[in-house]
Amino acid sequence: MTLLEELSTIVGNAFAGEGLDLSLGAVKPADRPDLAQFQCNGALAAAKAAKQNPRVIAEKIAERLRDQPLFDNVTVAGPGFINLTLADGDLSARIDDLAKDASFGGWRKPVKEKIVMDYGGPNVAKPLHVGHLRAAIIGESLKRIFRFTGDEIVGDVHLGDWGLPMGQLITGLRYEQPDLVYFDEGSSGPYPAEPPVALADLERLYPQASAACKADPSRAEEARKATSELQKGRPGYRALWRHFVALSRASIEREYADLGVTFDLWKGEADVDPLIEEMAAELQSKGLIEDSDGARIIRVARDDDKKEMPPLMLFKSDGAVTYGTTDLATILDRVQSENPDRIIYVVDQRQRLHFEQVFRAADLAGYFDAEKLEHLWFGTMNGNDGKPFKTRDGGALKLRDLIDTVTARAKMRLAESGLAEGYGENETLDVARKVGVAALKFADLSNPRVSDYIFDLDRFMAFEGKTGPYLLYASVRVRSVLAKAEAKEAGAAGAAAIGAPEERALALILLAFGEAVREAHQKRAPHILCDHAFQLAQGFSKFYAACRIADEKDAKKRASRIALASLTGRQLDLALNLLGIEAPARM
């Protein structure tokens, strides 16, 4: 139970004691922290229903609560708000419990689920776009939050490795090196184990080939043909394609690693290719497929639809499959190989219609309950011009370049602030990379998921305010305070003895962690954990400014403060970890 849930139960019981509904006892943090710590507005609703004076009801509830030793003060304010303040002794006991708890007060789910999470979606040989960056950052954090609360998560990268770009690459390479064995018609290998090109060639070939296809319809036709031959199994093309995927995957893996993002499965769209024929036959027998000008479609519209809902195209008139086909087959594959309770997609908002169609089709087909398929879409990271962020030369975002940029900027900011000095080249660079990536990730995660935001490196990188670097600095500072206490032989952490206002405030923040985790999980909203981490850092900073720690004369107070500091450090690091942010040991 989180603290708010526990308090709500206690106040709810008081309502029940008056013959009123338990749910009226809902407690939330006080709107006026200067007057109380918590409040309950249930008396207002109760009075409305019973046509009574809310202050009279509130007084009755307050009277029942005043008996309880956990409260220091229970008052009735305004039209009938019940204001609650916990006793310092109760707060101290709760902090002691928190310090013993392996999850530092984090919330755990009563009923656990197995969930496949799809938060990658990079495409072979194509640079990642901003949507991929946000999917990775948000998905990694959600994965960690869900895992922490007890769910079993299987993260799948779902590589885009099966569409037209593959045919464009194949034809592009054929123009450059027509004599390669992969292009021999009728040959069935064997083919060399070494790739005929390097990653840099792919990065050059793909944009070239895709531009050529745009400019020249005959090139586009060739690419379409190559795609279809690849998908039908032409051995030389398959062999070439395997090289492309392997090269690309190695580089994509490195970029995700630099971002602290990992996946359990490295499946791709191509993996479900063998399922498609059988799936189509089954859908046909269920009467779900219709012919439409030579194409085969599944109608997913409903009478009560408020917007237009086009059918899902299963096969184009030339027989080619679509993005919808592979996503539907992927659901089938996930059911067969993982049997999850739920599937979550962390993908760009531009794909909302696509997922709506796929979810409806999966539900119609009986593959998966649409209620348990979630598209957690997100807004766009924009540039200063309000359009999706692009690199300075107007090109698509290369994650590698972005990470280099934030690292360089972090290095500069650290030097300006006199931080991470004299550490040796390697450590300084490591700190800079962690600060840079933290700046990027925190800036992304601290906005509500569905909002757009503007990429503003100066603001992300500030050591003051609600930023990644500020939080890393806070984490490092807590650690250095504790190290100083140890060096001064100030003694170990001991029982909490909350007395000063700043201790009380910090304790309340520490105790709000459970609620933050619960809400972040329920709303699929990492920004709630960002808020918590920021409040914790600020709460510590005020506590540290007002209370002596290692230098405190009173041994009991000293041990209590060391305990508070140590708990703050551990909870802050846990919160950062759940956000997917790595803190350096020092800076």
Please give the residue ranges that form the binding site for ligand ARG (CB under 6 A): 118, 121, 123, 158, 160, 327, 345, 347
Q: Which is nearer to ligand ARG, 13 or 349 (by Cβ)? A: 349
- Determine how β-strand 27-29 pairs with β-strand 71-77: unpaired
Please report how close the Cβ of residue 158 comes to ligand ARG at its closest, in angstroms.
Answer: 5
Round to whole Å and give the CA distance between 386 and 382: 5
Write phi, then psi, for 453 (nearest 5 degrees): -150, 165
d(CA 184, CA 530) in angstroms, rounded, equals 56
Query: How many other C-beta atoms can be found within 10 angstroms of the C-beta atom of residue 554?
Result: 12
Shortest distance, position 337 Cβ to ligand ARG, whole Å: 15
How many whole angstroms separate alpha carbon 364 and alpha carbon 282?
A: 12
In the bound state with ligand ARG, the residue whose beta carbon lies nearer, of 160 and 569, is 160
User: Which residue lies nearer to ligand ARG by CB, 377 or 513?
Assistant: 377
Quickly count: other Cβ atoms within 10 Å of residue 136's Cβ.
28
Nearer to ligand ARG among residue 369 and residue 554 (C-beta): 369
Q: In this structure, are residues 444 and 137 in contact, taking their beta carbons and an 8 Å threshold?
A: yes
CB-nearest residue to ligand ARG = 121
Cα dihedral sign for 376, 381, 387, 390? negative
CB of 477 to ligand ARG, least distance (A): 39
Question: Quick check: 441 and 533 in contact, CB under 8 A?
Answer: no
Nearer to ligand ARG, 327 or 502 (CB): 327
Q: How far is the CB of 248 from ligand ARG (least distance, A)?
A: 12
Work out the angle at residue 380's Cα, subtended by the Cα atoms of residues 378 and 385, and round it to the nearest 5 degrees.
Answer: 165
> Which CB atom, from 158 or from 518, has the smaller least distance to ligand ARG?
158
Beta bridge partners of 28: 39
Nearer to ligand ARG (CB atom), residue 54 or residue 120? 120
Nearer to ligand ARG, 87 or 396 (CB): 396
Min separation Cβ 359 and ligand ARG, Å: 11
118 vs 502, beta carbon nearer ligand ARG: 118
Q: How far is the CB of 522 from ligand ARG (least distance, A)?
A: 23
CA 549 centroid distance within chain:
36
Q: Min. distance of Cβ 524 from ligand ARG in angstroms?
A: 16
SS3 label, residue 511: helix
Region label for 67, one of left (φ > 0), alpha (ψ between -120 and 50) or beta (otherwise):
alpha
Q: Report the residue number, 71 or 378, with the smaller CB distance to ligand ARG.
A: 378
Q: Which residues contact 163 (CB under 8 A, 6 or more apart)?
A: 123, 227, 269, 323
DSSP, res 65: H
Shortest Å, Cβ 93 to ligand ARG: 47
Which residue lies nearer to ligand ARG by CB, 118 or 201?
A: 118
Residues 555, 411: Cα–Cα separation, whole Å: 41
Smallest distance, ligand ARG to C-beta of residue 347, A: 4
Q: Rounded distance, CA 358 to CA 373, Å?
A: 10
How far, CA to CA in Å, does 111 sit from each of 3, 114, 141, 151, 341? 19, 10, 20, 8, 11
| 111 exposure class (CB count in 10 Å sphere: 0-12, 13-18, 19+) | exposed
Residue 34: what are its φ and ψ, rounded to 5°?
-75, -20
Q: How far is CA 426 from the centre of its chain?
A: 29
Place of tokens 């850092």: 537
